[in-house]
Amino acid sequence: MTAHLKQDGPVEGAALDGMKQGLLGRPVPRIEGLAKVTGTATYAAEYDVADPAEGVFVTATISKGVVRSIDSAAARAMPGVLAVIDDARMTTRAAQGTAGEAPQQAPQRVSYWGQPVALVVAETFEQARDAAKHLVIEYDEEPGAALDPATATPEPQEDEAVNMGDLDAAMQAAAYSVDLTIETEGHASAAMEPHAAIAAWEGDKLTVHASLQMLNYNISELADALGIEEENIRLVAPYVGGGFGSKLGISEDVVAAALAARELSRPVRVVMSRQQVFQCVMRRSETWQRLRLACDGDGVLTGFGHQARVSNLPGETFTEPVLQSSHFLYAAPNRSLSMDLVRIHRMTAGSVRAPGEAVGMPALEMAMDELAEKAGIDPVAFRLRNIPDRDPEADLPFTSHGLADCLRKGAKAFGWDNGPRKPRQRREGDWWIGTGMASAARVHNASEAKARVRLTAEGRAVVETDMTDLGTGTYTICAQIAGEMLGLPLDRVTVALGDTDHPRGPGSGGSWGAASIGSAVYLACKALREDLARRANTDEAGLVMKDGAVEGGRCIADLLGGETLEELGHYEPGDNEDDFTASGFGAFFAEVRVNHWTGEARVDRMLGAFGFGRVLNEKTARSQCLGGITWSIGTALTEALHFDPRDGHLANPDLAEYHVPVHRDVREVEVLMLEERDPLASAIQAKGIGELGMCGGAGAIANAVYNACGARLHQLPMTPDRILAGLPA
Ligand code: MOS
C-alpha cells in the first residue's frame, strides 16, 4: 500500500518527537562506516563483474571544431586491443539537456579542450591506455572560438531580472553606499572517487554500476542517450565517493561503457583519469558580480543591487544561480538584480556544491562588510538591522528564519568583539591577525521521494529506495527514522540504497536528500504503525514502541503473527513551496593570519552557526557543516580553475595544482547547530543541510583578511600574490 503526502501546509510536529527509541537526532556513527573503512564497500569501478574489458578515453586537443578523422589502425594492431569507439552519443551529455539531439555518427563536434572523442577498449587497462596514445585524430578546427569570458558577448537572462523601486535614486540619496565588482574563478567538484562505470548487457537488458547522485533521473538520461526503454536498464550505485554536483547527471563513462559493452558483447569498465575528471566533468562558472548597496544613517538598507555574469558552453542552459539568496536575504525597498550569460568554449558549467550561493553569498557579504565599515556599524549589528520579516521580492512569509539567532549565538560562541573595527590592529611577529564574519543562506528544496519499508515477520525493518548516499549519511538517517518510528534498535534495521530496482528516491543534490527521502521513510513507517496499532488494539498516536515491543506489551513478531507488512512512502512537496520562502540560515565567524612578507593567509579558527530545521543525526549533520566550511576555505584562499588563454585547455587538471584544502589548511573549526522544527519544510520538519556550510563562509574569511592586514580584495581566491598587491603601502 502507498502512504502518500503532498505537502500543502504545515505538518503535524509532534509525531517524531514523541517516539521512544531515542535514535533520531543522535550522533549515530554511519551504519555503513565499517564497510567503508575496511574496503568492503564496493565503489563503481570495484564490482566483481566477470571478465570485463577496460576502456580508456581519448580527449580532444582543440576547443572548437569537428573531428575530421580518427585513424585507429595502429591502435587496433596493438596487443589486447578489442575496439575503438567514436560514437558521438558517447559524448552526449544528457545531463545538460542535449540528449537525443546528437547524430549517432561522425563528424563529432568538439566544444571544449578535453572533451572525450574516442574510447579505446582492451583486455587490460594498461593496454587500453597505451593504445589510446596511438590514435591519430585530425580535426577541422574552427578558429576564433570564444575562450575568454571577459571579452565574450553577454546574453541577458530576462527571467532572472528584478527591478523594484529606484536603485539609482537610492544610491544617490544614501548616507553610505558601496558600488564594487567582485570576481570569483571557476571551481571543480574534485570528488575523491573518479567517474567510473561498468556496463554489462544480457540480451537487451543493461546493468550499469556507476558513480551517480540521482539514479531516478540518470536512468532516463541513459535510456535517452542509448535510445532504449528505461525498463531495460538497471543502475546500481550503493556507494558513491563524493559527487558535489558532478554526478547529478550521467557522464561520458556511463554511455561509453554501455556502447562498448554492446559492441563487444562483454562487460566493459571505463574509469576516468583524475585529469579527465577535471577536464570534462562540469565546472562551476567563474563569476563577475557588481554589488550596489545603499543605507541610511542608521545602517538600514535602502538600496540593493546585485548584477552577475557567468559563463557556459554554447547551447547549454545552466546559469550559475548567483542571485539565489540575494533575492530574500536583506530587506531594501529599491532593488535591482540581473544576470548575464556569456558563451565560451570551456567544459560545461553546471552544479558544483551549493551552485549559486557558494560564490554569490561571499561576494554579497564582502560588500556588506565594506558598507558596515563605511557606516561605522558593527558587521553583526548591521546584518541584524536588515533582516526582513517577509521575502522582500516575492512578498511571502518564511517557513522559519534562524538568521538572527545564528548571528547572535555565533558571535557569542566565537567571542566576537562587537566594538568599532579597524584593520591592522594586531600583529604577532610576521603575521597580521584579524577577524571577520558573514551571514549564511541557502535555499531549501524538497523533492518527490519514494521509499518502501518492509516489516518482516521476525520484526526487522528493511528500507529500500534508489536514493544514493554520497558520503553524507543517508543510510544512517534512513535507519534512524525507521528505527525511531517502529521502535527498533539499529541492528534490526537494514537500508538498501542505490539500485533502480527499488522505488524512486529524490537523488542526492541541492541539499534536498535527507529531508525528502526521510519524509518518504517516515510516511511508510507511519502507515506501518497504523497497522501495528490496530493489532495492538490502540491508535497510531497512542502506540508506544521501543526495542521491538509495544511498551509494556507484546513484541512486534507476536503482533505480526507470521505476516510481513510492507508500505510505500511517497512524499511530494505541494503548495508549501509556492506559499512560503524556505531557506537555511547561519552565520560564519573567522579568525585569520596573514603573513606580512609573503601574503600567505591562514584560517586559524572558524565557527559556523546554522539553523536548518530538525537535525536528524548530530554527527553526520556536523560533518556536512565541517565539509562546507572546508570548501569555504578553499573558495577563499586556494581553489581556481586556470585555463590557457591561447587554446582554452585547463592548465591545472589535478589535485596537486588545483588545491583543495587539506588537513593542514583546516585548523580549528567549530559548528553550532541551532536546532528548530520547520513544519513547512518537509514531513519530518527538516531542511537541507549539506551546502549551507559554504554559502558565505569565504566572505567571512575575506573580511577577516581585510581586518587583519588591510587588504580589501575583490577577487577570490585570495592567493598570496593578490594579498601582497592589496596590502596598504
Ligand atoms: Mo549538488 S551541486 O546539487 O550535488
* CA 67 to ligand 1 centroid distance, Å: 32
Contact in structure between 587 and 438 (CB atoms under 8 Å): yes
Measured in angstroms, how far is the CA atom of residue 627 from the centroid of ligand 1?
A: 14
- CA 511 / ligand 1 centre spacing (Å): 7
Residue 106: the pLDDT is 53
Q: Is cis: bond before 107, omega within 30 of 0?
A: yes
Find the 617 Cα to ligand 1 centroid distance in Å: 20
For residue 729, pLDDT beyond 90: no
Mean pLDDT for 68-95 is: 84
Q: Is 244 in the pocket of ligand 1 (CB under 6 A)?
A: yes
Residue 151 clears pLDDT 50, i.e. is over it: yes
* Least reliable range by pLDDT among 63-67, 73-77, 86-90, 134-138: 86-90
57 Cβ inside 6 Å of ligand 1:
no
Nearest ligand 1 atom to alpha carbon 351: 2
Reply yes or no on whether the pLDDT at 90 is more than 80: no
Mutate to test the pocket of ligand 1, among 189, 248, 689 (most ligand atoms within 8 A of CB): 248
- Give the pLDDT confidence score for residue 91 in this predicted structure: 64
Say yes or no: CB of residue 353 within 6 Å of ligand 1.
yes
| 350 CA distance to ligand 1 middle (Å) | 9
For residue 12, the model assigns a pLDDT of 78
Pocket of ligand 1 contains residue 510 by CB under 6 Å: yes
- The ligand 1 atom nearest the CA atom of 248: 4
From 211, 216, 217, 244, give the residue whose CB has the most ligand 1 atoms within 8 Å, as the site to mutate.
Answer: 244
CA of 420 to the centre of ligand 1 (A): 39
CA dist., res. 728 & res. 707, Å (int): 12
Computed over every residue of the chain, the mean pLDDT equals: 95
pLDDT at 92: 52
Pocket test for ligand 1, best of 324, 353, 470, 474 (most atoms within 8 A of CB): 353
> Where does the pLDDT of residue 13 fall: very low under 50, low under 70, confident under 90, or very high at 90 and above?
low
Q: How far is the CA of 62 from the centre of ligand 1 (A)?
A: 29
Q: Is 355 a pocket residue for ligand 1 (Cβ < 6 Å)? A: yes
Give the atom of ligand 1 at the shortest distance from the alpha carbon of 508: 4
**pLDDT of amino acid 217:** 96
pLDDT of residue 70: 94
Distance 243 CA to ligand 1 centre (A): 8
351 lines ligand 1 (CB under 6 A): yes
* pLDDT tens, residue by residue, 99-148: 344 444 557 899 999 999 999 999 999 999 999 999 999 999 999 999 99
Active site residue 691: yes
444 lines ligand 1 (CB under 6 A): no
Contact assessment for residue 450 and residue 503, using Cβ atoms and an 8 Å cutoff: yes
Q: What does the pLDDT average to over 274-292?
A: 97
pLDDT tens, position by position, 415-451: 998 877 999 999 999 999 999 999 999 999 999 999 9
Query: Among the atoms of ligand 1, which is closest to the Cα of residue 244?
Result: 4
The answer to whether the Cα torsion of 182, 610, 415, 381 is positive or negative is positive
Nearest CA to ligand 1 atom 4: 245
Whether residue 224 has pLDDT greater than 60: yes
Q: Are 355 and 321 in contact (CB under 8 A)?
A: yes
Hunting for cell 573518479 — which residue is that? Answer: 194
Q: Which pLDDT score is estimated for 104? A: 45
Dist. CA 312–CA 285, nearest whole Å: 7
Mutate which of 218, 281, 691, 692 to test ligand 1's pocket (most atoms within 8 Å of Cβ)? 691
**Which residues lie closer than 8 Å to 136 by C-beta, 6 or more apart?**
70, 71, 72, 74
Beta bridge pairs of residue 179: 292
- pLDDT band at residue 486 under the 50/70/90 scheme: very high
* Closest approach atom of ligand 1 to CA 510: 3
| Secondary structure (3-state) at 720 | helix
Q: What ligand 1 atom has the least distance to the C-alpha of 690?
A: 1
pLDDT attached to residue 15: 79
pLDDT of 240 above 70: yes
Q: Identity (one letter) of the amino acid at 177?
A: S
Mean pLDDT of 202-207: 98
Residues 1-6 have a mean pLDDT of 94
The per-residue pLDDT for range 667-715, each reduced to its tens digit, is: 999 999 999 999 999 999 999 999 999 999 999 999 999 999 999 999 9
Using CA atoms, how far residue 273 sits from 57, 58, 106, 195, 508, in Å, is 9, 11, 25, 8, 24
State if residue 352 touches ligand 1 by the CB under 6 angstroms criterion: yes
Calculate mean pLDDT across residues 67-94: 86
Q: How confident is the model at residue 579 (pLDDT cuts 50, 70, 90)?
A: very high
14, 451, 461, 483, 501 from 21: Cα distances, Å: 15, 21, 14, 7, 30
Asked whether residue 303 carries a pLDDT value surpassing 80, the answer given is yes
For residue 93, is pLDDT > 70? no
C-alpha cell at 545: 514502541
Q: Where do the H-state alpha helices sit in 117-251?
A: 125-132, 167-173, 215-226
Instruction: Say whether pLDDT at 67 is over 50.
Output: yes
Q: Average pLDDT of 38-63? A: 96
Of residues 193, 221, 567, 691, which has the active-site annotation?
691
**C-beta of 149 in contact with ligand 1 (< 6 A):** no
Task: Kindly state if the Cβ of 245 falls inside 6 Å of ligand 1.
Answer: yes
Task: Please tell me the distance between residue 648's alpha carbon and the centre of ligand 1 in angstroms.
Answer: 26
Ligand 1 pocket test: which of 211, 216, 217, 351 has the largest number of ligand atoms within 8 Å of its C-beta? 351
Mean pLDDT value of segment 634-644: 98
Binned at pLDDT 50, 70 and 90, residue 14 comes out as low
Q: How many CB atoms lie within 10 A of CB 20?
A: 12
